[in-house]
Structure 1
Amino acid sequence: MTAELVRGQNHPLSQVRLEIRISAGKPVVATAVLGDESGRIHGVEWVAHPGVPTLPGLEVSRQAAADHRLAVDLDAVPAAVHRVGVVLALPTGVGGPVGFGSVAAPFVAVTGLDGAEIATFTLTGLDAESAVIALELYRRQGAWKVRAVGQGYAGGLAELLTDQGLPQAHRLATEINEAVVRGLARSVPAPPPRPSDADRSRQTAASALGPDQSGSPYNSQNTPGAQGTHGAQGISGSQGTGGPYGATPSTQGTANQTGGATPSDPEPAQSASAPAVGGPIDYSHPRRQTTAPPPPPPTAPPAQPGEPARPVAGDATGWSMEERLYNQVWGMFEDLARSTAAYRSAVDFADARMEKELDQALSDPRSRIGGQGEAAREAAQAKHSRLVDQAREALDRDLGQLGAEADVVEPALPAAYARWDSPVWHAYRVPMEMPMALRLGDLHVPESEPLRIPMLVRLPLERGLWIDSGRTGSSDGLFTDAHDMRRLAMESAVAHTARLLAVHPAGEFTVHVLDPAGSAAGELSPLVRSGVLAAPPAAGAAGVAAVLGQLTERVDLVQMAVRGGVADSLPPGFDTAQQLLVVNDFPHGFDDRAVTQLRYLADEGPAVGVHLMMVADREDAAGYGPLLDPLWRGLLRLTPVADDHLADPWVGHAWTYEPALAPPGSQVLHQVLAQVAAARTNY
């Protein structure tokens, strides 16, 4: 399974003979730099570039190009080499772009010789930087790993090489640029775009929505409605482009990928996707050089003529069954959103038309005498009923198809996507790799009450979670007293925590708990008894201060190490696992310093692997005033009971969220946690 890396994340390499594929929207220069244990480049002979394209174990392109393939044989690099950095730079002095912010975000893939992807990384967030260390292969305890770096330099190659300790950095940068200028006439143009599918058909293989830049369809800020005590939490993404939420679920296998030009292509030399001089910039990502593999052939019997196609699990595009199921789930979500929007629009039209016809018929007072008025009213109402019935018939047809698809998709979902009552948990084993997403609950709309769509969020989490223990305003919340709501919120938090532990490899996810008053001892007992916590739940002011201080220091250390380019120089015994802090009963037992630290962890923690799960009632924190408003807005609000609070502007209403909880009386949570604890002990 391909590891889709984010900045700072690493992944083990099972092969030593590799190919590194680079795709960009404009010609870029690809170089490879060798470094010792500290990352220092010893001399110009440690840099492979267009002027000197080969070194022991390395070969790079001889020219600037929109696409590159670098060959790497890690067994052949010198023994003194501990790091191989892949560097991308924009050509200088040829009238091209001056910063990566004005071109499509480069995409880098590490593959085996068979072409199977091992790890990928998209370099987003660049602006004026004209040179960037895309990723590095590094030796650690006798094994090789790949790390996504994405560190850019506005000063170009000269600044980058100087920062890596090369004394002749400016001279070498000049030589590289001269070599590029000499070979620029041979540069490969950016590949032309392939046509994209605007709509997803249920009768054919579904296309993935588009490149995900936000990490999750829910990784976005709240809508204005979320400013209130229990306002709707917005799920419209600010970066994605393809889904009803404005966010897109997958970065692989998308239908709007751009294909690579081959020597036999009859395309002109200039890329069709390149903007005209002075025109708008095309930010569509070139991605891979082929479209995603076709979905597997349907295994169900073919439908009879005139019948809709019979659904098949995994019929979306993707590079693995996990990704195909992920894309299929979000395709189902998009279809339900679209069908619901169409139905509501039709009903609104019918209402407006009936009102207009009644106004016209009854505008003359004389028409109200006798049976004319009543006849006009009956005719308008009959027409209204026909329109609404037609709209409902179309919606029911779509819901029937989606329901049939859900019936075959739900049993096929892997553990990370499945409900707690799924049989897949009975065959659970601690995974070797982190999945691409996690199920946090289910979504539905009033028009399709029985149909549930899994709510999947991308991993690693890019936002913290807020389990709202206050009165939610839903029908379930109105009839639940405050004590029960706090209990249900903590049970929900334990279920989410157990799932996060279950889907991560052994030793790669650490959980800390703050329970200042010890009020959640009963609800936390599954985590405590199984031994999956890093330490017993911290209680009292001293315990809270110790844990918050430890995690704050961790964030500071990792940030300094990443910014300084010495990520391997962390203190001995440093826990490199993802960290989750579960906070109960906030703000009781938290002083001003603790509140400030929590805000810091919520803002800065996710980027360096520290995540927050707050169990709190916002009204209880009202005494802090607007100080905590950014905290609530920065967290994804979940509820312990069904509640329609996830605002979706695409269909103009809120989706009802239901938490993912274990069935009453089930032992599945305890069984899964026992396996996690055993794997943690043997790690």
Structure 2
Amino acid sequence: MTAELVRGQNHPLPDTRLEIRVSAGHPVVAGATLGDEHGRVPGAEWVAHPGSPSLPGVDVPGRCAADLRLTVDLGAVSDAVHRLSVLLALPAGAGAGRFGALAAPFVAVAGRDGTDLASYTITGLDSESAVVALELYRRQGAWKVRAMGQGYEGGLAALLGDQGLERPAELAASILAAVAPEPPAAEPAPPVADPAARLPEVERVGGSTPPTAPDTAPAPAPPLPPTPPAVPTTGTPTPAMGTAGPISYAHPRRQAAAAPEPRQAPPTPVAGDASGWSMDERLYNQVWGMFEDLARTAAAYRSACDFAESRLDRELDQSLSDYRSRVGGANDAARATARARHDELVERAQEVLDRDLAQLAAEAEVVEPALPPAYARWDSPVWHAYRVPAEEPMAIRLGDLHLPERTDLRIPMLVRLPLERGLWVDSGRGHSEAAGLLDEVELRRLALDCAVAHAARLLAAHPAGEFAVHVLDAAGAGTAALAPLVDSDVLAAPPARGAAGVSAVLEQLTERVDLLQMALRGGAADALPPGLDTARQLLIVHDFPHGFDDRAVTRLRYLADEGPSVGVHLLMVADRADAAAYGPLLDPLWKSLLRLTPVADDHLADPWVGHAWSYEPPILPLGSRILREVLAQVTAARYGKRP
């Protein structure tokens, strides 16, 4: 059964030898880009297009037409290739110049026996003149296809630039020039120096040397010519003209297999099966692959349900507008048929969603126990064997993320190190239902507890002496929550109290930022004062703006803007409403920080499909002493003592 995909939906590929058919109803240019584990296309030699139609494992048409075929052998692509994007573009001089004025393109993916595996009608395009139609990608050692439909108003150049290519305009121009019609010659063309240039296009493609991918891989066979296909080597042979015998009416491009291959079962999840140089990097890439898969799967399900609802409304409106159907029960029959189609579409979407969520849940059960301390939950047994690392990890875990489609499927929220922006634990109620149920004092206590947990994880993730923590607690209201940091002696100095203490710490960190920036800009990093601490700095600000005057507020904004570039980071614990007296003056401050909450809240959005993700803060097990034990290890390593 062919899977009819909607935008964002994925489908497993049981075969690696594929044929991708494009039917646009108008001439288009088809190509393919090969991406690495980050989805980036390293160079023009990773792009198959009409001017260079063959890459290892990929062959695209060398012409522009309304009906095109691409052949893909995923088993022959380089191991460095993790994504293959099928792109379509309107040729130069196309009448409408945009997909929105033309028939919606249709793409289908077929297996080696010609059976369609998945299809996708690219709807919703308007002023775009180039589109990424499909994406074939590796997942847990297997390949999947995803319906993309991502259009670009800037055309082919914008599409290629978005995939990381340098000088995309030049490559786009050469692709379009390869399919541009040649002007009619007024007289016979003079002989050319290269005889191969006079050969038909089929011979040139077959005899040309395909560009090499970054890693060696077996070279594919030359693409099939657009002329009538040859007789297949397997199956029933077609007799020659004039000979007796039965005639085979089999499709000449469809080869008969000895026996149909069984459908592959979902791959067994394995922790660390993503690409990467180390296990930490592989686990990091795997976690974010799970995040992306969950985002796309949920988007496809919601899109399918919206499509079913809109089609139901349209069909009901049509049945009501036809006065002839109001008699004889035809109206009721039409509405019943429309609702049945709606229910069938929703049921199919739910089946696909359940399948993908079950696979992701199985993967999460395998990945979570394998995560290192920087990525693990506080209740993970890995913390009991914690030792101060010799080098900084790629990222740290700041909580969990989930979607309403399955709330028990939690994806670790990993943030890269070093931090690119400061953190803000919001101690206000905001629009959170969970925060609205708590007492104001309890909510503020939970916010500071979360900040302490974040600071402890940052300390635990860095080698000894390479991360320092300062605390501003002007009123001393956070003494109890800050006790684990104070008692373990991991702070650079005792928490600063009063307006004078706040001013002194801010002045010290501001001067440090100024010195480091001047040294870096002047290329004189070795000329820093000998006593300057070069470790990264974290400033925890509690109970803001208590104890802050205008000068202190200005310095705080400066640290938020300029500090991260030289290793000085903020961790604000504040309610924005408390600083309302400053008006819009502090708006840049809040926007520059990553907002976290001490209770579950759905305030985070992903950059792909804009889901509202529910954020779960890191929670220490009740009565656990793991935080103090970890901080004791950090202190011992800092002073060269045994814990």
Instruction: Give 1:452's aligned residue.
Output: 410
Q: Report matched runs for 1:186-225 at 5 Å.
A: 198-204=135-141
Q: Which amino acid aligns with 1:444?
A: H
Among 586, 590, 611, which residue is 2:569 paired with? 611
Q: Which amino acid aligns with 1:552?
A: T
Give the deviation of 1:596 after TM superposition.
0.4
Q: Relative to 1, partners in 2 of residues 1:608 and 1:649: Cα closer, same or farther, differing over 3 Å?
A: closer
Q: Does 1:666 align with 2:603?
A: no
Q: Which amino acid aligns with 1:497?
A: A
How many Å separate the matches in 2 of 1:461 and 1:543?
26
Preserved contact between residue 442 and residue 454 of structure 1 (Cα < 8 Å): yes
Instruction: Give 2:446's aligned residue.
Output: 488
Q: Relative to 1, partners in 2 of residues 1:586 and 1:257: Cα closer, same or farther, differing over 3 Å?
A: closer
Q: Relative to 1, partners in 2 of residues 1:589 and 1:366: Cα closer, same or farther, differing over 3 Å?
A: farther
How many Å separate the matches in 1 of 2:282 and 2:142?
10
Preserved contact between residue 140 and residue 273 of structure 2 (Cα < 8 Å): no
Give the deviation of 1:588 after TM superposition.
1.8
Q: Does 1:440 align with 2:398?
A: yes
Instruction: Give 2:288's aligned residue.
Output: 330
Is there any run of 5+ residues in structure 2 with no aligned partner, and where?
A: 1-41, 45-133, 145-158, 176-212, 218-261
Instruction: Give 1:402's aligned residue.
Output: 360
Instruction: Give 2:470's aligned residue.
Output: 512
Q: Report matched runs for 1:201-280 at 5 Å.
A: 201-204=138-141, 275=170
Preserved contact between residue 142 and residue 267 of structure 2 (Cα < 8 Å): no
Instruction: Give 1:355's aligned residue.
Output: 313
Instruction: Give 2:511's aligned residue.
Output: 553
How many Å separate the matches in 2 of 1:464 and 1:292?
43
Q: Does 1:581 align with 2:539?
A: yes
Give the deviation of 1:567 after TM superposition.
1.0
Percent of aligned positions that are identical: 68
Q: What secondary structure sits across from 1:559 in the alignment? A: helix
Deviations 1:475-516 (A, max 9, x none): 212212222211111111000000000010010000000011
Q: Which amino acid aligns with 1:579?
A: Q
Q: Which amino acid aligns with 1:201?
A: R
Preserved contact between residue 429 and residue 435 of structure 2 (Cα < 8 Å): yes
Q: What secondary structure sits across from 1:439 in the alignment? A: strand
Q: Report matched runs for 1:312-331 at 5 Å.
A: 312-331=270-289
Q: Relative to 1, partners in 2 of residues 1:322 and 1:203: Cα closer, same or farther, differing over 3 Å?
A: closer
Among 524, 530, 539, which residue is 1:566 paired with? 524
Among 425, 444, 463, which residue is 2:421 paired with? 463
Preserved contact between residue 205 and residue 317 of structure 1 (Cα < 8 Å): no
Q: Relative to 1, partners in 2 of residues 1:364 and 1:277: Cα closer, same or farther, differing over 3 Å?
A: closer
Q: Which amino acid aligns with 2:514?
A: D
Q: What secondary structure sits across from 2:492 in the alignment? A: coil
How many Å separate the matches in 1 of 2:266 and 2:345?
24
Q: What secondary structure sits across from 2:424 in the alignment? A: strand
Q: What secondary structure sits across from 2:137 in the alignment? A: coil
Moved over 4 A (4+): 271-274, 276-280, 289-293, 364-375
Among 269, 286, 291, which residue is 1:311 paired with? 269
Q: Relative to 1, partners in 2 of residues 1:560 and 1:524: Cα closer, same or farther, differing over 3 Å?
A: same
Preserved contact between residue 494 and residue 523 of structure 1 (Cα < 8 Å): yes
Give the deviation of 1:405 after TM superposition.
0.7
Give the deviation of 1:449 after TM superposition.
1.1
Among 380, 389, 399, which residue is 1:431 paired with? 389
- Determine which structure has more spread, i.e. the larger CA radius of gyration: 2
Give the deviation of 1:277 after TM superposition.
12
Give the deviation of 1:378 after TM superposition.
3.5
Preserved contact between residue 206 and residue 331 of structure 1 (Cα < 8 Å): no
Among 516, 519, 540, which residue is 2:498 paired with? 540
Instruction: Give 2:349's aligned residue.
Output: 391
How many Å separate the matches in 2 of 1:205 and 1:596?
53
Q: Does 1:634 align with 2:634?
A: no
Preserved contact between residue 512 and residue 581 of structure 1 (Cα < 8 Å): yes
Q: Which amino acid aligns with 1:202?
A: R
Q: Relative to 1, partners in 2 of residues 1:365 and 1:620: Cα closer, same or farther, differing over 3 Å?
A: farther
After TM superposition, the score normalised by the length of structure 2 is 0.61
How many Å separate the matches in 2 of 1:669 and 1:617?
26
Instruction: Give 1:595's aligned residue.
Output: 553
Q: Which amino acid aligns with 2:405?
A: E
Give the deviation of 1:565 after TM superposition.
1.8
Preserved contact between residue 257 and residue 291 of structure 1 (Cα < 8 Å): no
How many Å separate the matches in 2 of 1:316 and 1:350?
35
Q: What secondary structure sits across from 2:270 in the alignment? A: coil
How many Å separate the matches in 1 of 2:171 and 2:324?
66
Q: Report matched runs for 1:466-481 at 5 Å.
A: 466-481=424-439
How many Å separate the matches in 2 of 1:637 and 1:206?
36
Instruction: Give 1:651's aligned residue.
Output: 609
After TM superposition, the score normalised by the length of structure 1 is 0.57
Q: Report matched runs for 1:60-71 at 5 Å.
A: none
Q: Which amino acid aligns with 1:204?
A: G
Q: Which amino acid aligns with 1:593?
A: R
How many Å separate the matches in 1 of 2:607 and 2:492?
41
How many Å separate the matches in 2 of 1:682 and 1:372?
86
Q: Which amino acid aligns with 2:421?
A: R
Preserved contact between residue 602 and residue 612 of structure 1 (Cα < 8 Å): yes
Q: Which amino acid aligns with 2:344?
A: R
Q: Does 1:501 align with 2:467?
A: no
> What RMSD in Å do the two structures reach over aligned CA positions?
3.3
Q: What secondary structure sits across from 2:396 in the alignment? A: strand
Q: Relative to 1, partners in 2 of residues 1:649 and 1:681: Cα closer, same or farther, differing over 3 Å?
A: closer
Q: Relative to 1, partners in 2 of residues 1:652 and 1:558: Cα closer, same or farther, differing over 3 Å?
A: closer
How many Å separate the matches in 1 of 2:626 and 2:529?
38
Q: Relative to 1, partners in 2 of residues 1:200 and 1:419: Cα closer, same or farther, differing over 3 Å?
A: farther
How many Å separate the matches in 1 of 2:142 and 2:506?
48
Q: What secondary structure sits across from 1:650 in the alignment? A: coil
Preserved contact between residue 645 and residue 655 of structure 1 (Cα < 8 Å): yes
Give the deviation of 1:651 after TM superposition.
2.2
Preserved contact between residue 514 and residue 539 of structure 1 (Cα < 8 Å): yes
Preserved contact between residue 548 and residue 598 of structure 1 (Cα < 8 Å): yes
Give the deviation of 1:352 after TM superposition.
0.2
Instruction: Give 2:479's aligned residue.
Output: 521
Q: Report matched runs for 1:171-182 at 5 Å.
A: none
Q: Report matched runs for 1:66-105 at 5 Å.
A: none
Q: Relative to 1, partners in 2 of residues 1:291 and 1:405: Cα closer, same or farther, differing over 3 Å?
A: farther
Q: What secondary structure sits across from 1:466 in the alignment? A: strand
Give the deviation of 1:371 after TM superposition.
5.1
Q: What secondary structure sits across from 2:552 in the alignment? A: helix
Preserved contact between residue 292 and residue 319 of structure 1 (Cα < 8 Å): no
Q: Relative to 1, partners in 2 of residues 1:439 and 1:291: Cα closer, same or farther, differing over 3 Å?
A: farther
Give the deviation of 1:372 after TM superposition.
4.9
How many Å separate the matches in 2 of 1:277 and 1:353?
38
Preserved contact between residue 493 and residue 615 of structure 1 (Cα < 8 Å): yes
Preserved contact between residue 645 and residue 654 of structure 1 (Cα < 8 Å): yes
Give the deviation of 1:310 after TM superposition.
0.4
Q: Report matched runs for 1:143-154 at 5 Å.
A: none
Give the deviation of 1:360 after TM superposition.
1.4
